[in-house]
Amino acid sequence: MKHVKSLALCLLALALVLALAGCGGGSRPTGIRAAETPADDVAEYQPRWRSHTVDSTQYRKVFLAGTIDMGRSADWQAALVARFRKKVIAESDDKEEEDVNIDADYIVDEKAKTATLTARGIAKAEQYFEIENLSDPENSTIAHHINQAIKAHGTMKRDIDYVIKDGQVVIVDEFTGRLMFGRRYSDGLHQAIEAKEHVEVARESKTLATITFQNYFRLYGKLSGMTGTALTEEEEFGTIYNLDIIEIPTNRPIARIDDPDVVYKTEAAKYRAVIEQVKKCHAKGQPVLVGTVSIEKNEKLSYLLSREGIKHNLLNAKNHEKEAEIVAQAGKLGAVTVATNMAGRGTDIMLGGNAEYMAKNDLRKAGLSDELIAEATGYAETDNQEILDARDMFAKALEKHREEISGEADKVREAGGLFIIGTERHDSRRIDNQLRGRAGRQGDPGETRFYLSLEDDLLRLFGGERITNLMERFNLDEDTPIENKTLSKAIENAQTSVESRNFQYRKSTLEYDDVMNKQREIIYGQRKQVLDGMDIKPTILNMLRSSIESQVAFAFGEHDKTDDEHRADALKSCEGTYFPRGAVAGSSLAGLSAEDLTERFYAAAESYYEAKENAVTSPIMRELERVVLLRVVDEYWMDHIDAMSELRQAIRLQSYGNNKPIDVYKQESLTMFEDMIAAIQGDTVRRIFSARVKTEGEVKRERVADGIVASTSGDGTVKKQPRKVQKIGRNDPCPCGSGKKYKQCCGR
């Protein structure tokens, strides 16, 4: 019987290897995880952070009128998505999205982390907004906001992608596990998440500058660095940055034992095995570091350990301020630490404890400031007696704690060193290697093992369903693990496939950003010249000529007809904007060509410009030119960034027409950039010519608020006039401009 069971395990391991080997191919598993029941109608949706219900009719009207911002639209986002039913699958199928009979309004693709409306969902959205076709260009803003709303509800997970801290949505870094304060998701996604989590919805910020990390790093003439996980990113370093990777051997031979992965049928069985391993290590005093991929799993495991009565330290992004203290004690005899991948980066866990941290802690208890402690642990030459005394105090404390932990460190080594338990494989091998690298440092002993389950995302998305069927076929219980070195290698191959796919995404992003980067260099190069004080009068005059040429060309039409009617149209479009009315007589334009007409108008405009400069002085005119040009450039550039982002989202559809999206993107972006430059030139000239600069003598003091109206009586005393206040009815529109009734807004 034992031999039969062993054979079954081998066959199961082989099946899993084969399944994982094809993870990067074209297989499309379509197993449904769950379908959420739609909530009540949108009119009954009531966010907890607001005291009013969402009036669907009101929101529909103001949104279609283009008067609602992203923050206000968050209400209807949450309300609309609450009506939708979602279907979660491993990898989406285009045919499935187009199936009108599918029992879902949007499909969540777990591999690509996308959410896509189905035909039924599109029909429901069109009905809700009372529009004929959601795909029409005039409905692009509505479609964008709907897509962000379903993405927030379908793909963004709390305590994995973000946390709620102090009433705000804070992003969690995927690789470091740390909170990214001040960072926000773009394109309205952050607002959609805020609506989903019922926190205050902030206004969408306007982006003035954007650049990918790849192009940011390539701004430097020379790049170099040192990391223990560079080999896993060798292809990307070589392709994007032209960097070679050199592997440097460790200072001392690695004595760490890396055990093969063990795979369980269910997540519950995996956690039971992890608990048993922790108990075994804890019994002999071996310190344990348990690594998790998310805060959610981190807190779940902490609960299970507490239920078993195992004392431990918990480290995640929610209590990151205790990171130094927790990590410093993670190597002590019998210590158990449960941490996200925060503990896998930039930390050195000392066996027996960290004497240096203990010494610094003694200095803090003695009342020394952090600045003085930093000086006490430094080596800079100084004659400051306070710093010298602090250094002496630190040296004594360090020596004391080294003696204390030396014996404990030997006991930890005898117990096997630090034991690393990984509860799930990360998509990136680099993160797993960083976690393993916490043990066995500087030649110390150590041991690592990853505990996996078929319900883990990596295995579930890359062949888990097939393996589950095989497990059921062999009738293996969930507490029987699969352990095989070949299996561990296959899992690493699956990670390699995922890394390659992510690299292709980043490479594609870089290709698109390269197009934007050329435009960015032009805009910011010229902008810098203006900020540095360059005389831009010749530039303004060139803009003036180009603007007049455009107006004349537009008046004459594409056939360049030069009859008197078109000449009159050209004069009408230019006078009053570039030169005063009457400065150019219409009778003097007879028989002039487009070129001659442009020269005539330009001469009049230049003369008017010179007269304006003489009136306000040259320094003031130069400053006006700079201020106006910078403001116009910033306004149009911000709009251009948004337009380019929308273009990039839509351009991928060109692949259905056998067109390469990046090529179409280059062509369309060039046209958009040229249009932006023309708009900047025209608007800059118009604003400068229309600007009225007050001289010092013209400055007048103006009353900006009415004072108390008073009158005098016959005896000379001041008689106050009663204030007349118009009473607002409860059903009248609220004067704050919210669009709601007074009784439902400020009158509550």
In our burial notation (b when 16+ CB lie closer than 10 A, e otherwise), range 701-717 reads eeeeeeeeeeeeeeeee
Residue 17: other Cβ atoms inside 10 A: 20
DSSP 382: -
DSSP 698: G
**In contact, 133 and 125? CB cutoff 8 Å:** no
Close Cβ partners of 1 (under 8 Å, ≥ 6 residues apart): none
Give per-residue pLDDT as tens, 67-103: 344 444 555 666 677 778 888 876 655 445 455 567 8
d(CA 645, CA 643): 5
* Bridge-based pairing state of the strands 262-264 and 445-453: parallel
Give per-residue pLDDT as tens, 686-742: 888 888 776 554 444 444 344 433 333 334 443 333 333 345 555 666 655 555 665
Close Cβ partners of 256 (under 8 Å, ≥ 6 residues apart): 417, 436, 439, 440, 445, 446, 447, 448
pLDDT for position 443 = 86
d(CA 304, CA 48): 32
Query: What does the CA dihedral 102, 103, 107, 111 come to, rounded to 10 degrees?
Result: -90
Q: How far is CA 504 from CA 26, 239, 244, in A?
A: 16, 11, 19
Angle between helices 618-651 and 661-690 (to 10 degrees): 150
pLDDT for position 73 = 52
Q: Which long-range contacts (CB under 8 A, 24 or more apart) does 462-467 make?
A: 462/19, 462/20, 462/23, 462/494, 462/497, 463/16, 463/19, 463/20, 463/22, 463/23, 464/19, 465/29, 465/31, 465/90, 466/15, 466/19, 467/12, 467/15, 467/16, 467/19
Close Cβ partners of 583 (under 8 Å, ≥ 6 residues apart): 575, 604, 607, 608
Does the pTM exceed 0.75? no
pLDDT for position 47 = 33
Residue 740: other Cβ atoms inside 10 A: 16
DSSP 381: -
pLDDT for position 707 = 40
Query: What value does the CA radius of gyration of the chain take, rounded to a whole number of Å?
Result: 34
Give the DSSP H/E element, type plus range, for residue 478: none
Residue type, 486: T
What parts of the chain have a pLDDT lower than 50?
A: 1-5, 7-9, 11-72, 94-95, 97, 697-726
Instruction: Dig out the tokens for 712 from the structure.
Output: 């005098």
